[in-house]
Amino acid sequence: MLPSRVATVSLHTSPLDQPGTGDAGGLNVYVVEVARRMAERGVAVDVFTRATSPDLPPVVELAPGVSVRHLAAGPYGHLDKNTLAEYLCPFIFGMLRAEAREEPGRYDLVHGHYWLSGKAGVAAARRWNVPMVQTMHTMARVKNAALAEGDLPEPDARVRGEDQLVHQADRLIANTDDEARQLKEHYAARDHQISVIPPGVDLDVFTPGPRRAALERIGLAPDTELLLFVGRVQRLKAPDVLVRAAARLLERDPSLRSRLVVGVVGGLSGGGMSEPRMLADLARSLGVADVIRMEPPQTRERLADYYRAATATVVPSHSESFGLVAVESQACGTPVVAARVGGLATAVGERSGVLVDGHDPADYAAVLHRLIAEPGRRDRLAEAAPEHAATLGWDRTVDDLLDVYRASITPYAAPAGLPLAAAR
């Protein structure tokens, strides 16, 4: 049975936010792309998110069949994700009030994204007597096992909340086989709960194109060697590894300085907001400030040009549930140099990128130098990149999600328990 309407929960970040800054990233892209394609298949989607301003309308149409519902929960403005847990109850009550204004049985299923959303989603799903599907995106125990130097561990409250959520959710969506393994090893998830469904990439926007023309469009010389980082600027994503690698690269080959550019496209996020000059100060201390180009988050169309212009996109994250940036880059015909962590082993093709063990800048410098010094090798990776990305389109993701939705709602009986137990 195909659901007629799904309640998607994205409490801590809105699908209307620009990915690449604050708490907006791959999760936002996931929610938007899936919701749009669900609606095109006849499944309406209401996305519940926290209102960050009193000026936001209660309901915004994101696309035909997709509505974003802003719920008041706690003070307006940006709140730390750990603080948001204090406002789960008002958010849940907002979801219940919104549903109560509609005809009975409005939602056939709830899909939560991230643990906070999942806690709210479980409470609503139990009250509405519908199944609860959860995508974690990141997990506290996994992140804490791979902390960057100077980064703070995820709090115990999140660990306990995820433990509860894994056992309360009817189905768990893992981005990769590796994430499925982590759910079982770290949270004792059961095999029958888990479905592995990789995220996708918009193959209509992220397409190959001439590199020289793309360099010109973003204001760089045609002989530029652009090493690109895309994403939120925080220690977890490790843009500092790329900056340090660039310093090693220039020590190894000083002749590159006149044409090397390290592009960092993204905004401050998480712990990075408390140290806004960390990356700039690091570049200055290493003597490479002149090759660093800091850019704010870009529109998808503009971002595609940055990918096309790059010699390589570098994804040195300490933890990554999937790595949409890596897939977007490959879809644009640009190879990826990434850390061999989490979902990046799936996101990066064997013939379209290079996976690096660990986070030693010297190792990244060696790989990047070879791509620059051996353009034929770089071109071979670039040629295979779109082919790998083509296997990860959003249509496949949505097809597989709909299969999980059908299986979840036919038939369905809610587990016993208090409807709002998940909020406590």
For 18, which DSSP code? P
48 in Cβ contact with 11 (< 8 Å)? yes
Q: What span, in angstroms and rounded, lies between the C-alpha atoms of 149 and 282? A: 14
Q: Is 193 annotated as a binding residue?
A: no
Q: Is 158 annotated as a binding residue?
A: yes
Q: What is the pLDDT of residue 213?
A: 97
**DSSP per residue, 348-388:** S-TTTEEEESS--HHHHHHHHHHHHH-HHHHHHHHHHHHHH
Q: Is 217 annotated as a binding residue?
A: no
pLDDT tens for 271-288 read 555 566 889 999 999 999
For 277, which DSSP code? T
Domain positions in the chain: 5-200+394-417, 211-392
Ranges of residues in the chain whose predicted pLDDT is under 50: 418-424
Cα distances (angstroms) measured from residue 116 to each of 123, 171, 269, 361 = 11, 16, 18, 34
Q: Is 349 annotated as a binding residue?
A: no
- CATH no. of 5-200+394-417: 3.40.50.2000
| 228 closest CA partner among 263, 178, 252 | 263
359 in Cβ contact with 241 (< 8 Å)? yes
Q: Is 27 annotated as a binding residue?
A: yes
Q: What is the pLDDT of residue 327?
A: 96
Q: Is 87 annotated as a binding residue?
A: no
Q: What is the pLDDT of residue 270?
A: 57
Q: Is 135 annotated as a binding residue?
A: no
- CATH no. of 211-392: 3.40.50.2000
Q: Is 19 annotated as a binding residue?
A: yes
For 129, which DSSP code? T
Q: What is the pLDDT of residue 192?
A: 94
Cα distances (angstroms) measured from residue 106 to each of 23, 47, 51, 88, 96 = 29, 13, 22, 22, 11
Are the folds of 5-200+394-417 and 211-392 the same? yes
Q: Is 28 annotated as a binding residue?
A: yes
Q: Is 46 annotated as a binding residue?
A: no
Q: What is the pLDDT of residue 424?
A: 31
Q: What span, in angstroms and rounded, lies between the C-alpha atoms of 328 and 392? A: 10
Distance of alpha carbon 48 from its chain centroid, rounded? 18
Q: Is 20 annotated as a binding residue?
A: no
38 in Cβ contact with 23 (< 8 Å)? no
Q: Is 144 annotated as a binding residue?
A: no
Q: Is 119 annotated as a binding residue?
A: no
Q: Is 24 annotated as a binding residue?
A: yes
Residue found under tokens 């790989």: 367
Residue found under tokens 């609606």: 39
Question: 70: number of CA atoms within 13 Å, CB side?
Answer: 18
Q: Is 75 annotated as a binding residue?
A: no
Q: Is 138 annotated as a binding residue?
A: yes
Residue found under tokens 């020590």: 251
Q: Is 298 annotated as a binding residue?
A: yes
Q: Which stretches of 22-114 are DSSP H helices?
A: 26-40, 81-84, 88-100
> Which pTM was predicted?
0.87
What's the CA angle centered on 221, arms 219 and 227, to 5 degrees?
85
Phi then psi dihedrals of residue 293, to 5 deg:
-125, 110
Q: What span, in angstroms and rounded, lies between the C-alpha atoms of 263 and 260? A: 10
Q: Is 417 annotated as a binding residue?
A: no
Neighbours of 83 (CB within 10 A): 11
